[in-house]
Amino acid sequence: MIERSEMNKELTLGQQFLASADKFPEHDALVMEEATYSYKTLKNTVRKWYNVLRDSNCRDHRIGVYFTNDLDSYAALLAISVYGGSFVPLNPDYPASRLHSICKEAGIKVVLNVTDNDFGCQELNADASTVDSIEMPPVVIQPGSYVMFTSGTTGGPKGVEINHEHINSFFDFVMRSGKWDFDENDRVLQAFELSFDMSIFSLFLPLISGGCSVVVPLNKIRFVEIAKALSKNNITVVILVPTVLNFLLPYVDELDLTSVRFSFFAGDKLLHSTCTKWAEQLPNAEIVNMYGPTETTIASTYYPWNPIQSAKDAQNDIVPIGLPFNGVEYLIDEEELCMRGSQVISAYLNEANEEKFLNTDRGRFYRTGDLVAKLENGNLIFKGRKDHQIKLNGYRIELNELNAFIGARIKGTFYLHPDNH
């Protein structure tokens, strides 16, 4: 483990990865299907991409990375962070029009790891000849760490830039609050696309601790790939969306999960009955429900699941989302959860969606749109949505974005609503 005292809180995620690589060069850093890459190998690949940025004299604050879920995707993303830039993952499954819109919104001119792109950006690619042996100091000094795009209500995606303070506060709480103990021996399941911010948790939790991130292939039948990864990699930390758990449950008694120490869920409602079945297969694990929109940096509340207490706390079988992380405060405005603090953004990119913020005497709060109630023991419990947002495998989908998109292309009257199936 890299001690916090050894680190500068302003270090980027990429620079924290370099500290791990220097301390544990022979440790496994990434597992991808049959291939295992050590920190030394990953650092050399990162250096290749860093040199591409340096040689191109790039000074952009935000740089796109087209992720193909291979070593180069991950190394290019890390290189942007080492270089000091804010990385913006671009999902190849998105249509060109959406990628164009994301690049325009984030002011991205340069994209790594893509050829013949049809969304109007300059391409930078690396080959073996660009490797050299120099150190990798930050070149661009700016506050942004990464940008994620979430579904917007007006027909376009909303850009959320998480800065170094936000993400370091998140990892400070997760790694150093004493709630959970992670170290260089942990092997963490990475089952998310890089355009989903939970991936930052499952990728960087190990990479800044000296541990290993086990990357699940982006196959259409994701739960089968997750089951394969769980069955052969001695995973110690599982991070999943509850929806995936429902697919795994029919087969879970055939999985050997004795190596698992922690099981984190986030991104959708977690059911007590599901946890009860899952817990039977994880005799040595702590189960934690986490909650947090992208705007509050991955997760900002937590609830340690317990078979007895959670049976009392759960409502309609739904497990509470718990208490806020240190440094995050909340208020409840007409049942809507509003949050502020060291992990919470105070504006979207380009100052968009001002109505999503609430200015009070206590400061500026982000309106989550999630309706909550407070239990007698202080834990928060999710009650529903204020608007027409739905969740699909943990992804937020604003039905109004779909309505706006379809409305611009089809004449006539129609309206998508969460109650219309």
Partner 1 sequence: MDNLTQIEAVIRKVFKDDSLIIDAQTSADDIDGWDSLTHLQIITEIEKHFSVKFTLSELLDVNTVGDIDRIIQQKFA
Among 158, 164, 187, 222, the residue binding partner 1 under the rule CB under 8 A is 222
Among 134, 221, 408, 410, the residue binding partner 1 under the rule CB under 8 A is 221
Q: What is the 3-state secondary structure (H, E, C) of 330-382?
A: EEEECCEEEEEECCCCCCCHHHCCHHHEEEECCEEEEEEEEEEEECCCCCEEE
Closest CA to 267 of 224, 321, 217: 321
Token duo for residue 207: 């990479």
Q: Is 254 in the site for partner 1 (CB under 8 A)?
A: yes
Q: Is 299 in the site for partner 1 (CB under 8 A)?
A: no
- In three-state secondary structure terms, 145 is strand
Of 38 and 393, which CB lies nearer to partner 1 in the complex structure? 393
Of 215 and 229, which CB lies nearer to partner 1 in the complex structure? 229
Q: Is 34 in the site for partner 1 (CB under 8 A)?
A: no
- In three-state secondary structure terms, 417 is coil
- In three-state secondary structure terms, 123 is strand
In angstroms, the CA 209 to CA 216 distance is 20
Smallest separation, CB 35 to partner 1 (Å): 19
Q: Is 141 in the site for partner 1 (CB under 8 A)?
A: no
Q: Is 383 in the site for partner 1 (CB under 8 A)?
A: no
> Within 13 Å, how many C-alpha atoms sit on residue 71's CB side?
21
Among 145-153, 208-216, 248-256, 355-363, which window interacts with partner 1 (CB under 8 A)?
Answer: 248-256
From residue 300 to residue 339, the character string flagging contacts with partner 1 as x (rule: CB under 8 A) and all else as - is: ----------------------------------------
In angstroms, the CA 183 to CA 171 distance is 13
Q: Is 134 in the site for partner 1 (CB under 8 A)?
A: no
Q: Is 251 in the site for partner 1 (CB under 8 A)?
A: yes
Interface with partner 1: number of residues (CB under 8 A): 15
Q: Is 49 in the site for partner 1 (CB under 8 A)?
A: no
In angstroms, the CA 166 to CA 177 distance is 16
In angstroms, the CA 14 to CA 81 distance is 5
- Which residue do the tokens 């040689």 mark? 55
Of 40 and 228, which CB lies nearer to partner 1 in the complex structure? 228
Among 8, 97, 154, 231, the residue binding partner 1 under the rule CB under 8 A is 231
Q: Is 244 in the site for partner 1 (CB under 8 A)?
A: yes
Of 231 and 360, which CB lies nearer to partner 1 in the complex structure? 231
Among 81-89, 199-207, 215-223, 335-343, which window interacts with partner 1 (CB under 8 A)?
Answer: 215-223
Q: At what angle do helices 13-23 and 198-207 cross, to 10 degrees?
A: 30
Among 86-94, 139-147, 223-231, 281-289, which window interacts with partner 1 (CB under 8 A)?
Answer: 223-231
Of 8 and 258, which CB lies nearer to partner 1 in the complex structure? 258
Smallest separation, CB 306 to partner 1 (Å): 28
Q: Is 63 in the site for partner 1 (CB under 8 A)?
A: no
- In three-state secondary structure terms, 235 is coil
Among 94, 247, 395, 405, the residue binding partner 1 under the rule CB under 8 A is 247
Among 228, 364, 385, 391, the residue binding partner 1 under the rule CB under 8 A is 228
Of 193 and 387, which CB lies nearer to partner 1 in the complex structure? 193
User: How buried is residue 117: exposed, middle or buried, by Cβ count under 10 Å (0-12/13-18/19+)?
Assistant: middle
Smallest separation, CB 222 to partner 1 (Å): 5
Of 219 and 273, which CB lies nearer to partner 1 in the complex structure? 219
Among 115, 220, 283, 355, the residue binding partner 1 under the rule CB under 8 A is 220
Radius of gyration of the chain (CA): 21
**Contact by Cβ (8 Å): 23, 1:** no
**Contact by Cβ (8 Å): 313, 381:** yes
Token duo for residue 366: 């982000």
Token duo for residue 64: 């796109």
Q: What is the DSSP string of 56-102?
A: TT---SEEEEE--SSHHHHHHHHHHHHHTPEEEEE-TTS-HHHHHHH
Q: Is 390 in the site for partner 1 (CB under 8 A)?
A: no
Among 76-84, 242-250, 262-270, 378-386, which window interacts with partner 1 (CB under 8 A)?
Answer: 242-250
Binding site for partner 1 (CB under 8 A): 219-224, 227-228, 231, 244, 247, 250-251, 254-255
